[in-house]
Structure 1
């Protein structure tokens, strides 16, 4: 009798689990995958039905299904099967009248997922063409349109171009396997979501400007693994738009990134901040700006960050760490407790993303190759940064005929506290390898800086730095002295220095 009751219980549980995984094929709701028929209503009906039934899988079968904005509901898995393509509408009017909605949205939903090996294609080029058409006709408003930006580019505002996906205030989110293709703006944004998993997705989105690959904004408990990102703007980007919360407890690992901006970036939005972030085993290539960019410029706290095992080739800058003060209504933030280890970067003299569809903006003044940098502000140092087992190989070739900054003019390097943060923001810098200013607790262990062609500048400059420790610093290719400049550096400790010249000759120490 007991055995019969147990068997009955198992059957009930199995039946319940089967019911939870009910599959709703969108073609059963009238969807047609002919790349012409609009299927927004059919797809939304399938999603609503699955959610109302307590959850289930909404299946996008093989075919090309055109859709406008769809809303994902709690308990629903949107499964984009192999050889299935979800095509975003190319009509700007299908995304709203004022601000453009994302193609797929969710707000305050839970236990939602997008899975499969199919494609979600925003058809960004065609959408932008329609945006421009409406702007010319006057049927769409955009104060930015036809205003040339500082890089000489002409483009419509971000709010007029739809993202592929925007999830807000959602819990238990899973995104796996799919290909996100050609957004007209940011590809995917997760804002104030919790328990988020992004695994094995592919991003191929170079259709237009502002094409961030993955944006994680003030989210908690996040894992991003085994993703391949090729994006016109930042590759994998953490943001903080809310001053009352953080990006917190984030893990990013085993990814490949190509970007016409920065590959791994914290910011630019940095109002609340970033805490407890671990990044491991990332391959980066053909990236215009920085391989690693950590920025707090809006009053946020950036702390407890570990980045390890990074291999970057053909990348415009190795490491950029910046504490600024763009948001003047807030106090200056904090950048502290950062460890970057086991990193190899190759920095060319030319433009790393040259030839890509949408290149990063050209720096419009003569300059030599830019060094890595760690910069705070007077009275607000970047604190406790450890660089360990780092090798950066520069193309070199620095020339006084291109640009020259005298060592007795270090005080003239501009602060630019409120400027947009990027590795070229200070203009020509007076060193080729590593520039550190307004910092405390800087530790360098087994750091190697080298170039392929001679550069007349010192390899490293430390300006207004307290508690500098360097052990096993290796600069094998320096061709002139000084190799290292210490200006207003308190309590320096350099051991195991390897340079082509004698130590006294290689180091310049002076005060303002």
Structure 2
């Protein structure tokens, strides 16, 4: 470190094995859906844009009719369209014109209980506002707004709101926790949370048995399960009860020029969770959310390993992230693995962390061949580059670090990654890497990068971490 406080790390050319030589000129691609020009207007199926009429039947009838005729466009004109869950069908492009808003009803009875997925495991959920299973050639496009009406589902802490906002929330109904520090949407929600009821599906337990905690089973705004050739373009997705966009086990997925918004205090308010998908592109999108922004997942623990479907062959480029727990994130539910992912020319502003990788013992899965370049960060709250294999463990004790369990299918593996031209202006720490004694984080190369942070680098249980032409501008200790 010189007198100006600049720590220069250069020329640390360790012998690194296991990197796949992949050309940035030959990136993975996603096949695009193609639609007939035939257009059906939801007005012609009885939809009324008055913000009060429930248009569920009209919208779903239009989508079903379009699909039966061989596909095409279902048009949502300008207006405020109240609706319950919308079921997509193959070969349909749901197109929202400018000034069109799909507003999902606050009536929770309109959302039936279904067998879904919560954080990588099979669980009871309320039906997602937009959903589709086993479809091909589908899209949601245009320049309108899709609003999940999430505030009727979410709890919120008093400290997350201004005094006037808190008073308004309490006056709206619901239940306040005994200590006065958290508001719940209903007594049923409070009971489910405080009694730690499980939403996980178990053999022999029918869905109707979960009705006692229905209010607690917040739906993700959009879930597409096992679909092929999917396009989301131009639309604003906002105000989800839980995760916003959740493509699950999909192939050939494109998300382009979206605006994804959730309140900063939204619990599980992720922007995008790509789970066990292959061949995808995320470009030109803007995220401002209450949890991880762009997140890669592939199932949790044994269930995820049995599924055995990594998230792979993806390109994430030209995106901007504002609030969020992480800008680009892998984990912690990554038991099926992740590989061949390319992240470039993205901006993170004010996120808690920048590039965030997380897991823990018991997850398993291999995360490898992750490449990032031209990542620009400003005012990161915590770490710019973050790896932690003790997720949910605030501090690893000496005894935990000294433990060396036998490496097995539950041991997570993070290896073989290259980051180039990472620029961070403002963060508490530049780089934090905490692996496991029995499985170090290995073969990570960071090149041609600049970090203007309070603290430089901290690493534990690592192997072959290469910093080449990296500057860390940190304050000089007096």
Q: For this structure pair, what is the TM-score category when the shorter chain's length is used for normalisation?
A: 0.7 to 0.9
- Is contact 2:269–2:292 with CA below 8 Å preserved after alignment? yes
- Is contact 2:229–2:252 with CA below 8 Å preserved after alignment? yes
Give the SS at the match of 1:252: strand
The residue number in structure 2 matching 1:422 is none
The answer on 1:165 being equivalent to 2:222 is: yes
Given the alignment, which residue of 422, 425, 440 partners 1:381?
440
The aligned runs of 1:107-122 (5 Å cut-off) are: 107-122=133-148
The aligned runs of 1:124-135 (5 Å cut-off) are: 124-128=150-154, 132=174
Instruction: Give TM-score, length-normalised by structure 2.
Output: 0.73
The answer on 1:232 being equivalent to 2:290 is: yes
The aligned runs of 1:355-374 (5 Å cut-off) are: 369-370=428-429, 372-374=431-433
The answer on 1:49 being equivalent to 2:65 is: yes
CA RMSD of aligned residues (A): 2.7
Q: Distance in 1 between matches of 2:371 and 2:246?
A: 23
The aligned runs of 1:21-420 (5 Å cut-off) are: 21-97=37-113, 99-128=125-154, 132=174, 143-145=192-194, 160-206=217-263, 208-241=266-299, 242-243=304-305, 244-288=308-352, 290-297=353-360, 298-316=363-381, 317-324=383-390, 330-348=409-427, 369-370=428-429, 372-394=431-453, 396=454
- Is contact 2:152–2:185 with CA below 8 Å preserved after alignment? no
Cα deviation 1:70-92 (Å, max 9, x = unaligned): 11000111001111000011122
Bigger RCO (CA 8 Å, 6+ sep): 2
Cα deviation 1:108-128 (Å, max 9, x = unaligned): 001000000000011212343
Q: Distance in 1 between matches of 2:376 and 2:188?
A: 47
Residue 120 and residue 193 in structure 1: after superposition, are their counterparts in 2 closer, same or farther (change >3 A)?
A: same
- Greater mean deviation of Cα atoms: 33-42 or 370-379: 370-379
Q: Distance in 2 between matches of 1:177 and 1:259?
A: 20
Unpaired stretches in structure 2, ≥5 consecutive residues: 1-33, 114-123, 156-171, 176-182, 197-212, 394-404
Quote how far apart the aligned CAs of 1:258 are: 1.5
Q: Higher Cα Rg: structure 1 or 2?
A: 1
Residue 454 and residue 131 in structure 1: after superposition, are their counterparts in 2 closer, same or farther (change >3 A)?
A: farther
Cα deviation 1:460-491 (Å, max 9, x = unaligned): xxxxxxxxxxxxxxxxxxx5xxxxxxxxxxxx
Unpaired stretches in structure 1, ≥5 consecutive residues: 1-17, 148-155, 349-368, 397-431, 456-478, 480-512
Quote how far apart the aligned CAs of 1:132 are: 4.4
Quote how far apart the aligned CAs of 1:195 are: 0.3
Q: Distance in 1 between matches of 2:290 and 2:340?
A: 27
Give the SS at the match of 2:319: strand
Quote how far apart the aligned CAs of 1:347 are: 3.0
Residue 346 and residue 143 in structure 1: after superposition, are their counterparts in 2 closer, same or farther (change >3 A)?
A: same
The residue number in structure 1 matching 2:7 is none
Quote how far apart the aligned CAs of 1:323 are: 3.6
Instruction: Give TM-score, length-normalised by structure 1.
Output: 0.68
Give the SS at the match of 2:318: strand
Residue 141 and residue 450 in structure 1: after superposition, are their counterparts in 2 closer, same or farther (change >3 A)?
A: closer
Q: Distance in 2 between matches of 1:235 and 1:67?
A: 26
Cα deviation 1:361-387 (Å, max 9, x = unaligned): xxxxxxxx4452122111311121100
Give the SS at the match of 2:125: coil
